[in-house]
Amino acid sequence: MKTAFEQLHQRGNQGKRAGLKFLIRTPLTVALVFSILHGCTYMPPDSTVEPGFKPASSVADPMAGARQMTKAPTIRARSAIMIDAQNGKTLYEKNADERLPVASTQKLLTAMEVIAEGELEQDVQVTIWDQLQPPTKLGLIAGTSHRRLDLLGAMLVSSANDAASALANAAEGSYSDFISRMNARADRLGAKHSLFLNPHGLDIPGQHSTARDAAIIAYHAYRIPLIRHFAAQEMIPFSYGDGRTVLLENTNMLLWNRPAYFNGLKSGFTIEGGKCLIASAKHNGREILIVLLGSTQEEVFRDAKRLFLWYEKQVKTNAMGDAPPAC
């Protein structure tokens, strides 16, 4: 029997071709469609990180001041951390333990719980509560049904809040039970300074996390191929029950960065949390995770690029023997 990930490969190309017919009108859109259909959209995620739960002796541990890399760039984010995605070692941090909202980046934890509970091929029915969630959303209608796997993809790619709500409402037990399991999962992973009160990250009094906890969650989420797959997609199709198919665009603008070092994971924004981002990058056999909280729409992606380029420069300098090891 095929897994959900294998079925995604098979059905994805069919769905994309059907849903993208309306776009083929100009040479530019033809080129766009070709890149979507024949690129790496439904290929396995490009990563050397071993899939599955891999306990580490330490993930995102605090850095002593002397271990901090030199000449770190100035970034706009209020709180930040960068870790090695393979071994969890902290490479950079700024106010990493400050309690802050993390906006839609917490959908990575929601996705982990949804995938762990399984039955991704089953349909779930949308409730009026789901329909009334604020944007960003798909515009789901109460009473309609959608496959869990499709809602999961929409939540991770376009950050659809109604999709996240529907997934939580359709889980075993109640909505509150699902939130409790999310928090229990975060605690087991080692993210012990967080409290999640909803599945989508919209502002609510008392909800908080830290950049360090977000990095710990991201470290484990990155080891789930289905999450890494969706998080790497620039666009995916989503089909409604009335026959409409739309293209959902990823909210992580780093996926359009060239050269394509960045390959996921999740961005978010709320009024209280500001612009937040968990970004993964791979280059020359190294993989890193960058968490930025409390930044701005204008600077968050620039911050991520600054940190990535700075880290690459440090690695190159150390390899040439011109500086002591960073960590």
* CA dist., res. 6 & res. 8, Å (int): 5
Q: Say how many domains are in the chain.
A: 1
> Can you give the pLDDT at residue 36?
41
Q: Is residue 278 part of a domain?
A: yes
Q: How many CB atoms lie within 10 A of CB 134?
A: 11
Q: Is residue 173 part of a domain?
A: yes
Domain of residue 53, residue span: 44-319
Q: Is residue 203 part of a domain?
A: yes
Q: Is residue 79 part of a domain?
A: yes
- CA-nearest of 100, 95, 98 to 274 is 100
* CA dist., res. 61 & res. 79, Å (int): 15
Q: Is residue 38 part of a domain?
A: no
With a cut of 70, say whether residue 88 has pLDDT above it. yes
Average pLDDT over every residue of 126-144: 96
* CA dist., res. 150 & res. 167, Å (int): 10
State residue 238 phi and psi, 5-degree precision.
-135, 125
With a cut of 50, say whether residue 37 has pLDDT above it. no
DSSP string spanning 206-270? T-BB-HHHHHHHHHHHTT-HHHHHHHT-SEEEEE-TTS-EEEEEPS-GGGG-SS--EEEEEEEEE
Q: Is residue 13 part of a domain?
A: no
Least confident piece of the model among 6-10, 48-52, 282-286, 292-296: 6-10
Residue 315: CATH number of its domain: 3.40.710.10
Q: Is residue 1 part of a domain?
A: no
* CA dist., res. 1 & res. 299, Å (int): 46
Task: Kindly tell me the number of DSSP H helices and DSSP E strands found in the chain.
Answer: 10, 9
DSSP string spanning 48-72? -SPSS----S-SSPPPPGGGSPTTP
How confident is the model over 158-203, as pLDDT tens digits? 999 999 999 999 999 999 999 999 999 999 999 999 999 999 999 9
> Can you give the pLDDT at residue 101?
98
With a cut of 90, say whether residue 151 has pLDDT above it. yes
Q: Is residue 151 part of a domain?
A: yes
How confident is the model over 103-112, as pLDDT tens digits? 999 999 999 9
Q: Give the model's confidence band at 71: pLDDT under 50 very low, under 70 low, under 90 confident, else very high.
A: confident
